[in-house]
Structure 1
Amino acid sequence: MTERYYAGVYWPARLESAEECARRSVTFFRLLSQCDEIYARWYEQGDSMEDALQREFTPDYATFLRFFHREENQLGRDGFSLGAWTGHAEDGRGGMVSLTCGDASGAYPNCCLLYLPRTEVEPEGPRVVAAPVLVNVLRAMVLAWEPLLGVIATDEFRHALRPRRDPRGFSGWLMYLSRTRGEVPPLPPPVRVEPVEDKGTLIVLGPERLSASNPEHLSLGRKVQEVLDSKELLRPVLS
């Protein structure tokens, strides 16, 4: 079975207005569009593929503000949600964004998820799901949303490293830790780290995609996770 990679960033309850969420959304989609050409066009999600393909939108401030003022995109007393799609007609191609922001209650965890093209069945996959591109993807997410944690991995890799109900972060192919979490200690080779401006630290476990089917990849992931756990850097986002 092909493992599907995704990028996710997570932050705790943080009250933000529709205007602030719109500004952050503009920054995210602008930076994401610079990562690869498949992120140049966006569509709202619809009841069917045909419906969604009629909903192309321009990711600018006025558009996002309009989205977040709609009742269907509002979550309780505060908070907003948005789903967007790259518009590739073939099933599973391109990418999809799922966003929750502005929630201060904790009822709707704030996060931004980007589902990446499948590496073995989609022509864009090998090009997009590559470390040089994904470093920029994760940086875009961090600069836009200022999260506490970020990761690029597969569900299979996650479940191999953490019990399903464990709320802590986990070791992925790429990771991000906010500087507010603490200092990142030395990590085993071939891991490399780099700063994301003054926000935090981006961690790349290796140049090749980490897969749950590869024992060496799992061993590296566990070693890195043990080091980060010893410093409590992967504690739950709500803590």
Structure 2
Amino acid sequence: MIETYYIGAYWGARKEDAEACARRLATLVQLLAPVDPLFASWFKGSKSLKQSLTRPLELELSSLQKYIQRNLMRDDRRQPMEDLGFNLGLWNGRQGGNDAWLSIGCGGYWEQVSNRCVLRAPDEGPGSERVLTTAFQTQALRALATAWDPDWGAAVSNVHRDIIEKKSPDIWVGWVTYLSRRLGRVPPLPAPVRIEPVEDQGTLILLTPELFTASNPEHVALAERVRELLDRAGLLKARPAQPSKL
């Protein structure tokens, strides 16, 4: 089975207006740009990819703010649902010959809302050899974490996610995992696991220096061991995110 991967950052209810979300989005785009040529440009989601190419994402704050405001969640009668926040999608315009996508839900403050930023980069084709490395996954997740200040995040394969979900955790431990300092302090972890700080916001946990695959029993066993240690330390229960500034 071919494993496909994605990188996601998630946080609970946090009321932020279109301007605050625009600032975070601008920060994300700026941080992703040096990670890989795939992220050189972004285009606003449209009914077709051809139409998207006519709608480049402009990083000037007022333009970003207007764009995000237009993507406020609405009900069936087109009435605004401010507590659900904003929802938008971006495409990289097939930079470097391959696709990348961003799916973002931000500013939601209904108690049951789950804000998110999910990055899908190519698993095959041009650029995939760079994407499927610990360095790429770590740098991309670091960018998401720095920009959005989520509760947690993970670079994970879909196959491994399905294994994880059987245990019904609030937080997944993936190939690379991010935990906000709001959740607590990361305990010592076994080799070859590495941990890296993300400024004063949280911690990245890197399970393996090589490509993590769910078809490798040693990889899955290591992920489970780390999950147990983090769970024992009380870090795998998601808590409401607190408002914070960039």
- Structure 1 length as normaliser, TM-score? 0.91
The equivalent of 2:244 in structure 1 is none
CA distance in 1, matches of 2:178, 2:111: 21
1:84 aligns with 2:76: no
The equivalent of 2:209 in structure 1 is 207
Q: Verify the 8 A CA contact 1:97 1:112 in the aligned structure 2.
A: yes
- Structure 1 runs, 4 residues or longer, greater than 4 Å off: none
Alpha-carbon spacing, 1:238–1:180, altered in 2? closer, same or farther (3 Å): closer
CA distance in 2, matches of 1:73, 1:167: 30
CA distance in 1, matches of 2:165, 2:62: 41
The equivalent of 1:171 in structure 2 is 173
The amino acid of 2:17's aligned partner reads S
Instruction: After TM superposition, list the pairs within 5 Å mapping 1:49-198 onto structure 2.
Output: 49-70=49-70, 72-74=71-73, 76-78=81-83, 79-88=85-94, 93-118=98-123, 121-163=124-166, 166-198=168-200
SS in structure 1 of the partner of residue 93 of structure 2: coil
The amino acid of 1:226's aligned partner reads E
Q: Verify the 8 A CA contact 2:96 2:127 in the aligned structure 1.
A: no
Per-residue CA deviation, residues 9-62 of structure 1 (Å, 9 max, x unaligned), is 111100011111111111011101121111011111222222222222223322
The amino acid of 2:118's aligned partner reads L
Structure 1 residue 237, shift from structure 2 partner: 4.5
The amino acid of 1:80's aligned partner reads F
Q: Verify the 8 A CA contact 1:32 1:39 in the aligned structure 2.
A: yes
SS in structure 2 of the partner of residue 8 of structure 1: strand
Per-residue CA deviation, residues 193-218 of structure 1 (Å, 9 max, x unaligned), is 01111111111001112111111111
The CA RMSD measured in Å over matched residues stands at 2.0
Moved more, 61-70 or 96-105: 61-70
The amino acid of 1:182's aligned partner reads G
CA distance in 2, matches of 1:53, 1:175: 33
Alpha-carbon spacing, 1:107–1:181, altered in 2? closer, same or farther (3 Å): closer
Alpha-carbon spacing, 1:21–1:197, altered in 2? closer, same or farther (3 Å): same
SS in structure 1 of the partner of residue 7 of structure 2: strand
CA distance in 2, matches of 1:85, 1:108: 24
How many residue pairs were aligned? 234
SS in structure 2 of the partner of residue 152 of structure 1: strand
Per-residue CA deviation, residues 90-121 of structure 1 (Å, 9 max, x unaligned), is 99x32100001111113541111001211xx3
The amino acid of 1:32's aligned partner reads L
CA distance in 2, matches of 1:148, 1:159: 21
CA distance in 1, matches of 2:96, 2:204: 33
Q: Verify the 8 A CA contact 2:7 2:120 in the aligned structure 1.
A: yes
Q: Which runs of 5+ in 1 are unaligned?
A: none
Q: Verify the 8 A CA contact 1:157 1:172 in the aligned structure 2.
A: yes
The equivalent of 2:78 in structure 1 is none
SS in structure 1 of the partner of residue 82 of structure 2: coil
The amino acid of 1:128's aligned partner reads V
